Structure 1
Amino acid sequence: MKKQTRILPQLLLAILSMMATPVVMAWTDKPVKMIVPAPPGGTMDVVARILAEQISADIGQPVIIDNKPGAGGGIAVHALMAAPADGQTIMVTASNVLTEIPLVMKAGFDPLKDVKPVASVTRSTMVLVGSPSVPAQDLKGLIAYVKANPGKLSFASYSTGTSSQYAGMIFNQKAGLDLQHVPFPGSPPALVQVMAGQIPVMFDGIATSLPQIKGGKLKIFGVASKTRLAQLPDVPTMAEQGFPDIDFNNWVGTVVASGVPAAMVDKINAATLKAASAPKVKERLAAVGFEPDTSLTAGQLAQSVKAEYDRNAAIVKTFNIKLNQ
């Protein structure tokens, strides 16, 4: 009987400890603001909303989406930096916002010092899409069409200084074309113009273009990566069609301002990865064209940002991409 008496308090302490652990380890007991450097419906917004719903369910707190498009993501990054460094404000972004924009615009932030990558959720591949009114049926035909209309055609991008512009500029130079660049504040408004035939082509993220491709509202001329997409297995890559330099494949995930303490970064990392690993999240991401990818640690993401930044700096120099071009 005495033995049982000794065991009971120990069991009670163990149970109480287990009950307390989630509270101690919880990221937050307050609503979270999730900044998105894109308009509603944009590539990053799609990921953010899927992720926010799951994180909210996991932590038992609202996750409020705050769309801040413009300046190639610079407006959103500044909002992130201006928020208290307490982990209550995070950003869901594609890596190109950190590795491309500051090279061609006066972004006002240092992507290698002012922002900390936390966790990747997925990868986004770009595709070259066009208006249904474009008479070409493949990339070769598209090039011939543009060359037959010198000085008359343009390409859209979802912002100056993004991979959407970079890919278009590289395509222009490598194919010997004279497409004029027309930037927009995000994918949705750019795609509206492309689908309406006002602008013939653009390089866009697969997540925002895939529904329109499947719906017959966009033509597709190539995949801007080294490998074909599972969702579009019959569409050749740009590399297969003679343009190996057009390879843009960015991770999309969570980042915080550099002032957020390491312990808090670890908690946000754990919450992000838990949400991203949920079967429902994986299914929803795959359904809209994303390849789930949570393989990189926060340290590896930081290294990838530096590598991407250096690579893109070389692109800017090689192809003479200018501020606000």
Structure 2
Amino acid sequence: MTAAELPDLPPGRLPRLPQLPRRVPVRQVLCLVPLLLVTVAAVQHRSVLAQGFAHLTSAEWPWLLAAAAATCLTWVAAAFTRQGAVVERLPRRRLLATQFAAGAANHLLPTGLGASAVNLRFLTVCGVPLARSSAALALYLLAESVARLTLLAVLFLAFPDALRLGALLPAGAVGPLLLGVGAVLVVAAGALVLVRRLRTAVSAFLRTALSEARSVHARPARALALWGGSLAFPALQAAGLVAVGRALGLPVPPAHMALAYLAATVAVALVPTPGGLGSVEAALIVALVAAGGPAAVATAVVLAYRIITVWLPLLPGALTLGALVRLKVI
């Protein structure tokens, strides 16, 4: 607008400038992303949801309530483990809410990236430096993996005939899998040797991680929370499957069902699907059948179990995630 185009106004008054459109805050948009992802996932798996809810209607409700209680306790166990991975005292309620929200994020993004991103952001907001937050995340993942493999090994040694582990992998898949893992290790080692900046970054991260691990284990309360929570987390998950199996009358001993669960989750740990959707169901069904369960009942148990542990908490978890983003907790 030029001076000649200005309207005639009384002295002392300025012309009203046109209002610019208000920008939508990015944080408000991010609050809606989890809900959108939940809707997309539900539409894609609507047949699984329908079958799972149909099986729940014919189950014994006391056992289903026990499965739901075990599922809720997994978030408590995760909160203990997260607290045990850092020296600083984290706010308890926010930590527990973050684990609930991280569970939803974990089922919407591949290979645990959702939960890792949520917890990494939570730690940095709590004042833990990024390097130490990353080290705490790595320590958590290591402790959870060691605990899960330890429980699997103990149950397998106690019940060596309970499960045929070969049934969890297709015929001839072991060789290519080992070759793939070996190739990844060789490429990673070559990159570390050839790329100096990468080698420096990895060395710095390892030094930070080792220092953080020493600091945590120097405090008995933190070490107990870390390893106690790491052992309780997969144990509670397996207990949930056992409860659903009892609710639907699966003719497999509880210890064998727990062994089948641990073996199936370890087998699909490297499959890059959101929350293991699809891959976990298939592996669990195969594992339960390998443990002696009828295929039809095993399928019903797995679908009902995934309804309780994944789909029922998914919407409230996504709402909690959006609320935490809006409140700047993460």
Q: TM-score range by the shorter chain?
A: under 0.3
**Larger helix proportion, structure 1 or 2?**
2
Greater C-alpha radius of gyration: 2
TM-score normalised according to structure 1 size: 0.26
Structure number with the higher strand fraction is 1
